[in-house]
Structure 1
Amino acid sequence: MTAVFFGLLQGCSRLDHIGQPPTFSPQTQSVERQAMIYSGLPTTTADTSAYRKPSLWSGDQSSLFGDRRAFTTGDILTVMVEIDDQAEISNTTSRSRSSQENLEMPQLFGFPQRRNTELPEGASLDNAVDLGSSSTSQGNGSVRRNEKLALRIAATVVDVLPNGVLRIEGTQEVRVNFELRELFVSGFVRRADITRQNEITYDKMASARISYGGRGHISDVQQPRVGQQVLDAILPF
């Protein structure tokens, strides 16, 4: 019953873009919008002395030389994702073992000679035990990966932790014809790592989560059907 219900849900999601392009995700339900609306209570009192005397510099963020970096809930910054990774691993294992045991008793108080007469023709107790074994094992393994991705996305500060670390989250959707490209990024950053241009690279994000994919007609063709995926998961062979 659970598998059938899951299959119906997957089918309904595909019905969304039959004969038409896929719809965008509603912005009214995004975490970024909630962070912009409910930015929290101010922790400091605004300095009004700058309004009473002319000055090009003040501690205010909107001043001419003020710090424009994101620092509170609802602020926006740019995340630069530039991944160019290459990894190649090759392992070779070889093992060989050989052993042989031979036990002879041709003159054990005349016991072999007396018993040999009672044995069938060709049998003898002179070589009582003769054992031999051989084992060989070889293994080869190779892994090679090459990933390259270059993206820029605007993210929103959705939370400020007690130690000052910012939790950011950003989404982006671009629709081209009948295919919708989706980009998602989230993680934790330090305000000190944000540049003066209000940008930060993905390698300075802790617990970074980056997703680049899409949905639409082409993605549906590339994905196996739900029934096939279920069978691949439960069939032992």
Structure 2
Amino acid sequence: MNKLLGSSLAACIVLSGCAATIAPKVDVVEPTQARPSPQAYVPANNGAIFQGAGYRPLYENPRARMVGDVITIVISESISAKQENTSTIEKKASLDASISALPLMNATQLAKLGATGSNNNKFDGTGKTSATNTFTGTITTTVVEVLPNGHLIVSGEKQIGVGQNVDILRFSGQVDPNTIQPGNSVTSTQVANVRVEQTGRGAKHDVQGIGWLARFFLSISPF
């Protein structure tokens, strides 16, 4: 019984590790949508027209500033990196030794006792790495939290289904209200702590990935 339990536990650990390797998750702020807390209607008892609990100025700036407001994020991310390394190491050494005189030995015999040696080590190494990534798109997010300094935590999700395939785009980040453009839009380059995830479900995405068992063996293969 103990052996069976141990085997089951080991299998669960392996499968959980495989699952984490197969589908790495980006830490997008959850939930990806928010609504203002419902306010119960309480009739005014003071007889005044102005009620602070539900007040929102009629002529206020329409810029997003409250939980539940929407902000359009224009995703324009471009990352390019390049690195080149060149190394050259050369070391030379030589040794030449001879004996000029020894008792009871003539010049011919002394010549055979001479020693000569040389050493030459040389290493040349060259390395080059480059990467370029571009991500563009548009997604409308919801303000899910307002920080004490007035910055807005936004998060949103977009799902597009065509046939049997679903494309999913998720975004979250911290927006400074001063960077919001007319129409409540802001570029992703002006958003802090950006988290962008583009994934999908369906046959199209399944055929583009490696099976979980093959991925597991690739992860433990030393070659």
Q: Same fold (TM over 0.5)?
A: yes
- State the Cα distance separating 1:134 from its structure 2 match: 1.9
Corresponding position of 2:37: 38
CA distance in 2 between counterparts of 1:234 and 1:8 reads: 11
Change (3 A) 1:6 1:96: closer
CA distance in 2 between counterparts of 1:72 and 1:206 reads: 18
Corresponding position of 2:203: 217
- Count how many residue pairs are aligned between Structure 1 and Structure 2: 194
Change (3 A) 1:96 1:204: same
TM-score by length of 1: 0.68
- State the Cα distance separating 1:76 from its structure 2 match: 1.0
- State the Cα distance separating 1:113 from its structure 2 match: 4.2
- State the Cα distance separating 1:112 from its structure 2 match: 10
RMSD: 3.5
- State the Cα distance separating 1:187 from its structure 2 match: 0.6
CA distance in 1 between counterparts of 2:215 and 2:178 reads: 45
**Secondary structure of 2:67's partner?**
coil
Task: Report if aligned partners of 2:151, 2:175 keep a CA contact under 8 Å in 1.
Answer: yes
Deviation string 1:101-121 (CA, Å, 9 cap, x unpaired) is 2132322x526947x85x9xx
Deviation string 1:145-176 (CA, Å, 9 cap, x unpaired) is 2x443311110111111111111101010101
Letter in 2 for 1:38: S
Q: Percent identity?
A: 23
CA distance in 1 between counterparts of 2:90 and 2:67 reads: 66
Corresponding position of 1:98: 91
**Secondary structure of 2:178's partner?**
helix
Corresponding position of 1:184: 170
Within 5 Å, give how 1:1-237 maps onto structure 2. 1-2=11-12, 5-6=15-16, 31-33=31-33, 35-38=34-37, 60-63=56-59, 66-85=60-79, 87=80, 89=82, 91-107=84-100, 109-110=101-102, 113=105, 124-127=112-115, 130-145=117-132, 147-237=133-223
- State the Cα distance separating 1:135 from its structure 2 match: 1.6
Letter in 1 for 2:147: L
- State the Cα distance separating 1:79 from its structure 2 match: 0.8
Letter in 2 for 1:211: E
TM-score by length of 2: 0.72
- State the Cα distance separating 1:88 from its structure 2 match: 5.8
**Secondary structure of 1:2's partner?**
helix
CA distance in 2 between counterparts of 1:224 and 1:211 reads: 19
Show structure 1 runs of 5+ residues with no match. 11-29, 41-46, 50-58
**Secondary structure of 1:31's partner?**
coil
Deviation string 1:73-96 (CA, Å, 9 cap, x unpaired) is 1111111112355x3625251414
